[in-house]
């Protein structure tokens, strides 16, 4: 008997045969191709933004290290996890695009982080300042800036946690498809993921509580 030839593995996609037919659940789009590529470097950009956003106002100020350790570090860990999961999923998926849910949850986390950096009040020359206060008229708005920072900070961490959950689900589904199985989560895992997402609201508020007050007026 002559053994049937096996399809050669694709070196760019671990565990994927070069003859694996493409999946049809993800339409191809530029964002879905670009986001997985730039995702690994975005945590560094976000950390730099939190520290350097007040440079036009004379910063970084006294609170730059606080924002770096209390906000940028935990947020960066979440963004790196979602980036790693997204990359692991994309290299196995055909075509090499991320899902809509993961793409938009990651983009939401990045967008919220950019807005958060504009509201974070830093202490420069003994005064609380942010890009927001500079834009709207000065120190009288430092408290308002800190309040917006609290709200946007919660949304940022919620979006980051949602990105981790979404990319994990995508990776699991892609691996299941490659094994010829239905890409479905068991009910208990779905419940755990939902609970983690809901609990992220409380955890995010804890990270943001240090922003209240915003410095001296």
- DSSP letters along 66-115, please? HHIIIIIHHHHHHHHHHHHHHHHHHTTSSSS---HHHHHHHHHHHHHHHH
- Is position 197 within any domain? yes
pLDDT digits (tens, 9 = 90+) for 107-150: 999 999 999 999 998 888 878 888 888 888 777 788 888 899 99
pLDDT at 62: 85
pLDDT at 157: 96
- Is position 18 within any domain? no
- Is position 154 within any domain? yes
- Is position 13 within any domain? no
Separation of alpha carbons 108 and 172, rounded Å: 22
pLDDT < 50 positions in the chain: 1-13, 15-19, 201, 205, 208-210, 212-217
Which residues, 6+ apart, have CB-to-CB distance to 14 below 8 Å?
Answer: 91, 92
The number of folded domains in the chain is: 1
- Is position 24 within any domain? no
Find the length of the chain: 217
> What domain range is 173 assigned to?
30-211
Written as six digits, the tokens of 38 are 């730039």
Separation of alpha carbons 3 and 187, rounded Å: 41
pLDDT digits (tens, 9 = 90+) for 34-43: 999 999 999 9
- Is position 10 within any domain? no
- Is position 23 within any domain? no
- Is position 45 within any domain? yes
């Amino acid at each position: 008997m002559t053994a049937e030839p096996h399809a050669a593995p694709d070196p760019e996609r671990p565990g994927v045969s070069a003859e694996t037919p493409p999946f049809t659940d993800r339409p191809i789009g530029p964002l879905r191709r670009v986001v997985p590529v730039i995702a690994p470097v975005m945590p560094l950009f976000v950390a730099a933004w939190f520290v350097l956003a007040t440079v036009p106002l004379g910063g970084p100020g006294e609170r730059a290290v606080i924002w770096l350790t209390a906000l940028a570090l935990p947020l960066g860990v979440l963004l790196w996890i979602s980036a790693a999961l997204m990359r692991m999923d994309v290299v196995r998926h055909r075509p090499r695009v991320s899902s809509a849910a993961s793409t938009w949850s990651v983009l939401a986390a990045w967008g919220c982080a950019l807005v958060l950096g504009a509201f974070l009040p830093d202490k420069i020359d003994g005064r609380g300042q942010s890009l927001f206060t500079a834009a709207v008229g000065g120190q009288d708005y430092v408290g308002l800036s800190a309040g917006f920072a609290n709200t946007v900070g919660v949304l940022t961490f919620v979006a980051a946690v949602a990105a981790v959950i979404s990319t994990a689900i995508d990776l699991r589904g892609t691996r299941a498809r490659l094994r010829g199985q239905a890409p479905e989560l068991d009910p208990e895992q779905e419940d755990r993921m939902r609970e983690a997402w809901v609990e992220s609201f409380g955890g995010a508020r804890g990270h943001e509580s240090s922003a209240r007050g915003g410095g001296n007026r």
